[in-house]
């Protein structure tokens, strides 16, 4: 009886070692890359913003415009929410009353964009120039793990000024948000290209 039990124990030990040897096989000890969820993008379609402010533009149907409710928000400060992407495009409008104020607003836009230099790998400036509609400005492309990836301002250079800043409501990791960022930047481009002062 004891001999039979020893034989069974021996067989189980051999079987266990065989499973371990097979399970531990392979020479690939490299770490696996981090995976991300697949993102389903909606079809591109646009609608017109025309809600009592001195400007109009096209924005995506999957974006929701809400009045900015933060302390100190002024009339015509709007947020375009992208709930499925956890992103917000903040728009702040300011009427221009003097050349001095205009220069200060332009300088503020520059400072606010370059505030992200600490985390950004690069910040590029692109000129926005649509003289037929009197829409001028600068588009800041901010690369790297900065809190904001795109900012811009639009002006007619005499009476109107609008600043935009795109933020994701999550820890900025460019490698994970890049597909969504590319998708939303196309919407920002449509907004700027369709922008008109009233």
All structural domains of the chain with their residue ranges: 65-197
Residue with the larger pLDDT of the pair 174 and 55: 55
- Beta-strand (E) ranges in the chain? 46-49, 55-60, 64-67, 78-82, 87-95, 120-130, 135-144, 148-155, 160-168, 196-197
Please list, in sequence order, all residues whose beta carbon lies within 8 angstroms of the beta carbon of residue 7, skipping any fewer than 6 positions away.
none
What was the pLDDT predicted at 122? 81
Q: Each residue of 57-92: pLDDT tens digit?
A: 999 999 999 999 999 999 999 999 999 999 999 999
What was the pLDDT predicted at 171? 76
Q: Is the pLDDT of residue 105 over 80?
A: yes
CA distance 179 to 37: 11
Please list, in sequence order, all residues whose beta carbon lies within 8 angstroms of the beta carbon of residue 20, skipping any fewer than 6 positions away.
none
Q: Is the pLDDT of residue 21 over 70?
A: no
Of 35-49, 59-73, 105-119, which has the strongest mean pLDDT? 59-73
Q: The tokens 């606010």 sit on which residue?
A: 112
Residue with the larger pLDDT of the pair 72 and 119: 72
Which DSSP string do the residues of 13-59 spell out, in sequence order? HHHHHHHHHHHT--S--PPPPPP----PPPPP-EEEE-SSSSEEEEE
What was the pLDDT predicted at 67? 94
What was the pLDDT predicted at 126? 95
Residue with the larger pLDDT of the pair 87 and 28: 87
CA distance 61 to 95: 28
């Amino acid at each position: 009886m004891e001999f039979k039990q020893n034989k069974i124990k021996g067989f189980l030990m051999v079987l266990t070692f065989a499973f371990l040897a097979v399970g531990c096989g392979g020479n690939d000890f490299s770490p696996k890359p981090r995976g991300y969820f697949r993102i389903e993008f909606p079809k591109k379609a646009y609608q017109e913003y025309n809600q009592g402010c001195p400007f109009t533009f096209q924005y995506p149907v999957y974006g929701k415009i809400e009045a900015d409710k933060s302390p100190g928000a002024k009339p015509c400060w709007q947020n375009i929410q992208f709930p499925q992407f956890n992103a917000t495009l903040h728009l702040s409008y300011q009427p221009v009353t003097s050349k001095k104020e205009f220069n200060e607003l332009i300088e503020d836009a520059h400072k606010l964009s370059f505030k992200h230099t600490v985390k950004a790998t690069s910040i590029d400036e692109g000129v926005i120039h649509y003289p037929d509609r009197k829409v001028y400005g600068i588009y800041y492309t901010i690369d790297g793990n900065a809190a904001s990836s795109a900012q811009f301002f639009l002006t007619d250079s005499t009476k109107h000024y609008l600043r935009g800043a795109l933020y994701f409501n999550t820890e900025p990791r460019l490698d994970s948000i890049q597909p969504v960022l590319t998708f939303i930047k196309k919407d920002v481009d449509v907004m700027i290209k369709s922008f008109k002062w009233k």
